[in-house]
Structure 1
Amino acid sequence: MELWVIRHASTSWNEEGRYQGRTDLPLSKKGAAEARAWNFHHGRAFDHVFSSSLKRAAETAEALGLDSHIQKTDLLMEMNLGEWEGLTKEEARARLAPSEIAQDWLGLHHRAPGGESMAEVMERLQTWLQEVPPHEGNSLVVSHKGTIQALYALATGWDALSKPKPRPRFPHLHRFSWDGTLKVLALNEPLVRP
């Protein structure tokens, strides 16, 4: 099966450059308009539509016109960012140890105080993948940046100690295959097509 994976549209905290994690914010007006404009899925039938249970992901799926059969799950939620939630990147970096400040990527096992590591998100995603009903078709997944990076790490073995090459960019469509093994099919496809 193919998993068509997208990140949710913008929230007010995205627009302000704040870490959200599990903070359950709705889409901003700008984000709702973005999601309505995304037409990558036109003419495509999805056997399943999966969404994080957080508002911003579910509202994105609804704005795409796919709300009639959205399966919401906590297993697709964003990484818990603990004490970093609500902070800007600069504010969060100010809380790092001096040895960590020089690094852009801190590895699979690093976590914000009170938060979750990427390795823990990967475990959560492995549980979700085992629960996905097996089928030959396509499924749409609306989730979060950290969750998509964890899917990428599962598929490629990326250790999160450096920028992945190629790396998933946002907002874009990322396609994976799942047949018991997760593989990257394509990254960074446009969400708006002519």
Structure 2
Amino acid sequence: MADDITVHLIRHEKTKANMERKYIGWTDEPIQKKVVAEIDLQPAIVYGSDLRRCRETAQCYFPDAEFIASRDLRELHFGDFEMCTYEQLQHNGTYRAWIDDPLNNPIPNGETFLQFQQRVLNDFREIVYENKEYTFIVHGGVIRLLLAVYGLEEQSFQQTVANHRTIYTLGWNSVDELIGGARCTLYSEAHITVNENMQKN
């Protein structure tokens, strides 16, 4: 329909820290492999975080699209937990408190969950302002937040999952529904197939 709005959310390709299961927030790591994706979407514009892993993924997935980067679409700032694994942090009382209740236990030298939520949602709502199709390449935490707020089923941030090489598609009948805070009326997930042995110049 001409009056609907569709949003595609894609997580960036994995970095070395992702492979090592570390918390990676604002550390600007490159992706592990440049790949060619088999993907039906052909957006003219892709929105995303200004960090290198999102820029590089956009170049791999949508080499002909314009990439519009935003600092406000970055992952949560993990502060003292940045580039650490669960195994390294599991006996840290501050970390355990944050895991159990991130809303009320901020990360030392990092960002509160409320700060993260406000900057991401404010930027998302500024970008998605008319009835059309939008494509984002962002971080796992950003996708989880958007799915928790707008997903078809009511679930908490902790309950949501954002996998690599997956397109999360949300649809509304109108942008007014989204702006009003309504959950999407259509939802789907699609796997992205990539060829790791080919690179586009």
Q: TM-score range by the shorter chain?
A: 0.7 to 0.9
Q: Which has the larger radius of gyration?
A: 2
- The answer to whether the 8 A contact 1:52-1:76 is kept is yes
Rate the CA distance shift 1:16–1:153 in 2: closer, same or farther, 3 A: same
In structure 2, the CA distance between the partners of 1:126 and 1:100, relative to structure 1 (3 Å rule), is closer
In 2 relative to 1, CA 113–98 (structure 1 residues): closer, same or farther, beyond 3 Å?
closer
Q: SS of the counterpart of 2:193? A: coil
Kept in 2, the 8 Å contact 1:168–1:174? The answer is: no
Structure 2 SS opposite 1:111: coil
For residues 170 and 182 of structure 2, what CA distance do their matches in structure 1 show?
Answer: 7
Distance 2:64 2:110 in 1: 30
The runs of 5 or more residues in structure 1 that have no matched partner are: none
Match of 1:130 in 2: 125
Partner of 1:115: 110
Structure 1 counterpart of 2:169, which letter? Answer: R
3-state SS, counterpart of residue 14 of structure 1: helix
Q: Is the 8 A contact 2:9 2:135 kept in 1?
A: yes
- TM-score after normalising by structure 2: 0.77
Shift of 1:140: 0.9
- In 1, Cα distance between the equivalents of 2:105 and 2:167? 27
CA distance in 2, matches of 1:122, 1:49: 21
Partners of 2:16 and 2:191 in 1: CA distance: 23
Structure 2 residue corresponding to 1:22, chosen from 26, 30, 35? 26
Q: How does 1:129-148 map to 2 (within 5 A)?
A: 129-132=124-127, 134-148=129-143
Equivalent residue number for residue 106 of structure 1: 101
Moved more, 75-84 or 60-69: 60-69
Post-superposition offset of 1:158? 3.9
The 8 Å contact of residues 53 and 72 in structure 1, kept in 2 or not, is answered as yes
- 1:67: how far off? 5.2
Aligned residues: 180
- Which amino acid is 2:69 matched to? K
User: Residue 58 of structure 2 corresponds to which residue in structure 1?
Assistant: 61
Task: Please report the TM-score for the alignment, with normalisation by the length of structure 1.
Answer: 0.79
| Residue in structure 1 matched with residue 197 of structure 2 by the alignment | none
Give the counterpart letter for 1:106 in structure 2.
Answer: D
1:7 partnered with 2:17: no
Other-structure match for 1:84 = 81
Residue of structure 2 in register with 1:186 after alignment = 187
2:32 partner letter: S
CA distance in 2, matches of 1:136, 1:99: 42
Secondary structure, in 3 states, of the residue corresponding to 2:8?
Answer: strand
Deviation of 1:151 (Å): 1.1
Paired AA for residue 183 in structure 2: K
3-state secondary structure, aligned to 2:122: helix
Q: Gaps (5+ residues) in structure 2?
A: 195-201
* TM-aligned CA deviation for residue 13 of structure 1: 0.8
8 A Cα contact 1:169 1:188, kept in partner:
no
How many angstroms apart in 1 are the aligned matches of 2:30 and 2:95?
35
Amino acid at match of 1:15: M
